[in-house]
Structure 1
Amino acid sequence: MQAVTIQTFGGAEGLAPTEVPDLQPADGQLLIGVEAIGVGGVDAMIRRGTLGSSAFQPGHIPGSEVAGRVLAVGAGVDAAWLGRRIWAFTGVGGGYAEQAVAALDDVTVLPEGLSSIDSVALGSAGPVAHFALAHARFVAGENVLVRGAAGSIGISVVQLAAAGGAGHVAVTTSSPERGDLLRALGSDLVLDRTGQRMIGGTASPETRFDVVIDLIGGEALPGVFNLLAPNGRLVSVGIVGGHPPADFGMALIRAFQRSLTFSTFSLNTVPVPERNRVRAELFTAAARGEFRAVVQGVLPLSAAADAHRRMDAGEVFGRVVLAP
Structure 2
Amino acid sequence: MRAVEFQEYGDPEVLRVVTAEIPEPGPGQVTIDAVYAGVNFADLKARAEGYRVASLPYRPGLEVSGRIRAVGHGVEGLRPGQEVAALVGGGAYAEVVVAGTATVFPLPEGLDLRTAATLPTVLPTAHALLHEVGRLRAGETVLVHGAAGGIGTVAGQLARAADAGAVYGVVSSAAKAEHALKHGYDEVFLAGTFADDVRRATSGRGVDLVLDPVGGDTLRRGLDTLAVFGRLVSFGNASGAEPWQVGQPELSAQGRSVGGFSVLALAQSAPEALRSLAERAFRTVTDGIVSLPVTAEFPLRDAAEAHRLMGGRTSTGKLLLRIAD
Q: Do both share a fold (TM > 0.5)?
A: yes
Q: Distance in 2 between matches of 1:123 and 1:80?
A: 17
User: Residues 235 and 78 of structure 1: is their aligned pair in 2 closer, same or farther, counting only changes over 3 Å?
Assistant: closer
Q: Which residue of 2 aligns with 1:321?
A: 320
> What is the CA-CA distance between 1:102 and the residue it aligns to?
0.9
Structure 2 residue 75 is the aligned partner of structure 1 residue 68: no
Structure 1 residue runs of 5 or longer lacking an equivalent are none
Q: Distance in 2 between matches of 1:166 and 1:14?
A: 44
Alpha carbons 2:216, 2:240 under 8 Å: kept: yes
Work out which of the residue numbers 255, 276, 285 in structure 2 matches 1:259: 255
Q: Distance in 2 between matches of 1:257 and 1:277?
A: 36
User: Residues 114 and 52 of structure 1: is their aligned pair in 2 closer, same or farther, counting only changes over 3 Å?
Assistant: closer
User: Residues 233 and 113 of structure 1: is their aligned pair in 2 closer, same or farther, counting only changes over 3 Å?
Assistant: same
Structure 2 residue 229 is the aligned partner of structure 1 residue 231: yes
Q: Which residue of 1 aligns with 2:28?
A: 28
Q: Distance in 1 between matches of 2:257 and 2:117?
A: 32
Write the deviation string for residues 16-51 of structure 1: whole angstroms up to 9, x where unpaired: 111111111112211110000011111111111242
User: Residues 283 and 318 of structure 1: is their aligned pair in 2 closer, same or farther, counting only changes over 3 Å?
Assistant: same
Q: Distance in 2 between matches of 1:253 and 1:79?
A: 50
Structure 2 residue runs of 5 or longer lacking an equivalent are none
Q: Secondary structure at the match of 1:219?
A: helix
> What is the CA-CA distance between 1:73 and the residue it aligns to?
1.3
Q: Distance in 2 between matches of 1:97 and 1:282?
A: 26
> What is the CA-CA distance between 1:52 and the residue it aligns to?
4.6
Q: Secondary structure at the match of 1:317?
A: coil
Work out which of the residue numbers 84, 87, 90 in structure 2 matches 1:89: 87
**Aligned-CA RMSD value:** 2.3
> What is the CA-CA distance between 1:245 and the residue it aligns to?
6.4
User: Residues 78 and 275 of structure 1: is their aligned pair in 2 closer, same or farther, counting only changes over 3 Å?
Assistant: closer
Q: Which residue of 2 aligns with 1:44?
A: 44
Q: Secondary structure at the match of 1:62?
A: coil
Alpha carbons 1:190, 1:198 under 8 Å: kept: no
Alpha carbons 1:198, 1:205 under 8 Å: kept: no
> What is the CA-CA distance between 1:218 and the residue it aligns to?
3.0
> What is the CA-CA distance between 1:220 and the residue it aligns to?
3.0
Count of equivalent residues: 317
Alignment-mate amino acid for residue 170 of structure 2: T
Q: Which residue of 2 aligns with 1:119?
A: 116
Alignment-mate amino acid for residue 289 of structure 1: G
5 Å-filtered alignment, 1:1-324, equals: 1-52=1-52, 55-57=54-56, 59-78=57-76, 81-91=79-89, 93-133=90-130, 134-194=132-192, 195-196=194-195, 198=197, 203-204=201-202, 206=204, 208-244=206-242, 246=244, 249=246, 253=249, 256-267=252-263, 268-269=265-266, 271-324=270-323
Percent of aligned positions that are identical = 33
Q: Distance in 1 between matches of 2:78 and 2:253?
A: 59
Alpha carbons 1:71, 1:82 under 8 Å: kept: yes
Q: Secondary structure at the match of 2:22?
A: coil
> What is the CA-CA distance between 1:157 and the residue it aligns to?
1.6
Alignment-mate amino acid for residue 281 of structure 1: R
Alpha carbons 1:219, 1:244 under 8 Å: kept: no
Q: Secondary structure at the match of 2:215?
A: coil
Alignment-mate amino acid for residue 191 of structure 1: F
Alpha carbons 2:284, 2:290 under 8 Å: kept: yes
Q: Distance in 2 between matches of 1:69 and 1:322?
A: 16
> What is the CA-CA distance between 1:178 and the residue it aligns to?
2.1
> What is the CA-CA distance between 1:287 and the residue it aligns to?
2.9
Q: 271-280 or 186-195: which moved more?
A: 271-280
Write the deviation string for residues 62-107 of structure 1: whole angstroms up to 9, x where unpaired: 111100001111122248611110001222x111000101122110
> What is the CA-CA distance between 1:173 and the residue it aligns to?
0.8
Alignment-mate amino acid for residue 28 of structure 1: G
User: Residues 62 and 255 of structure 1: is their aligned pair in 2 closer, same or farther, counting only changes over 3 Å?
Assistant: closer
Q: Secondary structure at the match of 1:131?
A: helix
Alignment-mate amino acid for residue 85 of structure 1: E
Write the deviation string for residues 217-263 of structure 1: whole angstroms up to 9, x where unpaired: 133321222211111111101111222565x638x735752222223
Q: Secondary structure at the match of 1:81?
A: coil
TM-score by length of 2: 0.90
Alpha carbons 1:221, 1:244 under 8 Å: kept: no
Q: Distance in 2 between matches of 1:317 and 1:8?
A: 28
Q: Secondary structure at the match of 1:140?
A: coil
Q: Distance in 1 between matches of 2:250 and 2:29?
A: 51
Q: 9-18 or 212-221: which moved more?
A: 212-221
TM-score by length of 1: 0.90
Q: Secondary structure at the match of 2:34?
A: strand
Q: Distance in 2 between matches of 1:245 and 1:68?
A: 37
